[in-house]
Amino acid sequence: MKLVNVDRQTEATFLRCLHDEEPDDPRVIGMRRSAYEEALRRGLRAKVLILDSGEVAGLCQCMPIEETHLLGHGLMAVLCIWVHGYEHHIGNRQGNGYGRYILDSIEDEARGDGFAGVAAWGMDFPYWNPVSFYEHMGYERADKVGEAVLVWKSFEESAEPPRFRRARRRPPVRPDRVSVAVFNSGWCTSMCSQCVTAREAIEGLDEIVDYLEVGTADRRVLDEWGIWDLLLVEGELHRPNEPPCTSDVLRDDIVNLARDKGLAVPD
């Protein structure tokens, strides 16, 4: 197996996050591609893991921490590592050491390029991007916000631990509307999909919804809000610790909140 840069042959698989079994939604892929191309200009290293069989079984994204939503200096930041975990298509390939291989490769490259260490983030639960993977690989906790945990491994004594940004602003919550806000940097296919989900969910609900969509790939916008990729309803995370919701689920939640506020809900 080998970890290689994304090229024309593997770009589509990379952009759809290994979901080769699903047809592309041009709205999602358009958002994702635009952000991907801009991130490449800012130092993104996008790679795929190709097995000896020729199958693409994993991917990773990393870039200098100064170009990410994280705060730090001189570190390589891992945005994501994903090994094919779906039962469909090529099947679940997790548990074969591929994640370890990818992270080892990232560390080797970071050392060779003079970075002072590697930062990564994960969640404090087991079913998606568990931070325990990085801790098992010798990473130490540096910061935490909610269930999100920031970890790092230093290569130099002078290296300083990274930090999460903190939210500086929140969308206003109004008594006569249900607030729905999407913050999307475009780096993650799932978050781009959630942005489309939110647009679909609010269709026909203009009279009861106050909708805000914020592109956080712009560093000035990111600095202003301190929020990277979130779906907020009434100023709070929508269904935290759950898989991404469908437009029907989000719409039902919006309607129920509107009724709780005594608002007239369109038929």
DSSP string over 20-68: TTS---HHHHHHHHHHHHHHHHTT-EEEEEE-TTS-EEEEEEEEEGGGS
The pLDDT score that the predictor gives to residue 23 is: 86
Give the whole-angstrom CA distance, residue 99 versus residue 80.
11
pLDDT 10s digits, 78-123: 999 999 988 888 888 999 999 999 999 999 999 999 999 999 999 9
Mean residue pLDDT of the chain comes to 95
CATH of region 178-260, choose from 3.40.50.300, 3.10.450.50, 1.10.357.10, 3.40.30.10: 3.40.30.10
Q: Do 72 and 160 meet the contact criterion of CB atoms below 8 Å apart?
A: yes
178-260 shares the fold of 2-154: no
2-154: CATH topology: Aminopeptidase (3.40.630)
The span from the CA of 248 to the CA of 267, in Å, is 15
Q: What is the pLDDT of residue 242?
A: 79
Tens digits of residue pLDDT in 194-242:
999 999 999 999 999 999 999 999 989 999 999 999 999 999 999 887 7
pLDDT at 266: 87
Beta carbons within 10 angstroms of residue 79's beta carbon: 20
The full set of domain ranges for the chain reads 2-154, 178-260
